[in-house]
Amino acid sequence: MRILVSNDDGYFSPGIAALVAAVRHLGEVVVVAPERDRSGASQSLTLDRPLTLRTAANGFHYVNGTPTDCVHLALNGVLGFRPDLVLSGINDGANMGDDTNYSGTVAAATEAFVLGVPAIAFSMIDHGYAHLDSAARVAADVVARLGARLRERPMLLNVNIPNLPYSSLTGWEATRLGKRHPSEEVVEGRTPRGDKVYWIGLAGSVKDESAGTDFHATARGRVSITPLDIDLTHDSLVATVGQWLRPGPEPSSLTGIQR
């Protein structure tokens, strides 16, 4: 099995080193990751400048771009082969609920999935890499257990792992994404020269942590595995918008479009 590994925390991150070490025995492993921390980059591509790919002493390749750039480059010519599986992480912090919209970790996996390769994003629910060895073992378990199935039926999986010793984890759960409240307010500050600056505030607190969600599973010590889809269409609203566009009694300059 040939595995491409990326992340959003950067090629130097302890999380990517642990992930590579954990899956190395499963096949050929190649790393293409951002040269710096691009957490929160979402699924963005760099289109306004060229990208460079360099290789670190440990063999990891790094790119001066986003996580999505890394996977895009790797799969569209740089690797010279098509991997069987793409892994992203292990992220330093959760990617649950609404976090997934902003996540570079999930985005790297999403880019692979868009390009037809099954992919798994791995995140630890708390910052600081406590019990990283345990999370790496979980990642290897997931790949060993689901890798063959994913090759039969390509999927995008989002895995969140409680920061617990391996023996304290209470199992697995297939979950749906929970929900967060809107993020907290921006934090205002001043530069040394007196100019006003803002920090993006913390993610919102948890709003939906009902049974079946990623928040619910991980709070109980279980590894959460959420299959993700990438079609943003709100199916149940297509008919509603269609109705709104029907010619009504009020004159409208758009009604001509439908005729």
| Residues at the contact surface with Mn ion, assessed by CB under 5 A | 8-9, 39, 91
Choose between 39 and 158: whose C-beta lies nearer to Mn ion.
39
C-alpha–C-alpha distance, residues 62 and 80, integer Å:
16
Q: Tell me if 109 sits within 8 A of 150, measured CB to CB.
A: no
Closer CB to Mn ion, residue 123 or residue 224?
A: 123
What span, in angstroms and rounded, lies between the C-alpha atoms of 25 and 192?
A: 51
**C-beta of 92: minimal distance to Mn ion in Å?**
6
Kindly state the smallest distance separating residue 135's Cβ from Mn ion, in Å.
14
Q: Which is nearer to Mn ion, 36 or 151 (CB)?
A: 36
Joined together, the tokens standing for residue 22 give 């954990």
CA–CA separation, 13 vs 33, rounded Å? 10
CB-based closest residue to Mn ion: 39
- CA-nearest of 77, 86, 81, 84 to 7 is 86
State which amino acid sits at residue 182. P
Give the total residue count for the chain: 259
The least CB distance from residue 257 to Mn ion, in Å, is: 44
Strands across the sheet with 61-63, in order? 53-55, 61-63, 28-34, 2-6, 85-92, 119-124, 156-161, 222-228, 171-174
9 or 99: CB nearest Mn ion: 9
Give min distance, CB of 158 to Mn ion, in A.
13
Rounded to the nearest whole angstrom, what is the least distance from the CB of residue 104 to Mn ion in the complex?
6
CA-derived radius of gyration, the chain: 21
As measured in angstroms, the least distance from the Cβ of 232 to Mn ion is: 22
In the complex, the smallest distance separating the C-beta of residue 187 from Mn ion, rounded to whole angstroms, is: 19
- Is the Cβ of residue 13 or residue 224 nearer to Mn ion in the bound state? 13
Within 13 Å and on the Cβ side, how many CA atoms surround 73?
A: 26
Q: Residue 175: left if φ>0, alpha if ψ -120 to 50, beta else—which one?
A: beta
Q: d(Cα 73, Cα 63) in Å, to the nearest integer?
A: 9
At residue 29, the 3 state secondary structure works out as: strand
Q: Which is nearer to Mn ion, 106 or 147 (CB)?
A: 106
Nearer residue to Mn ion within complex by CB, 8 or 214 = 8
Q: How far is 259 from 254, CA to CA, in rounded Å?
A: 10
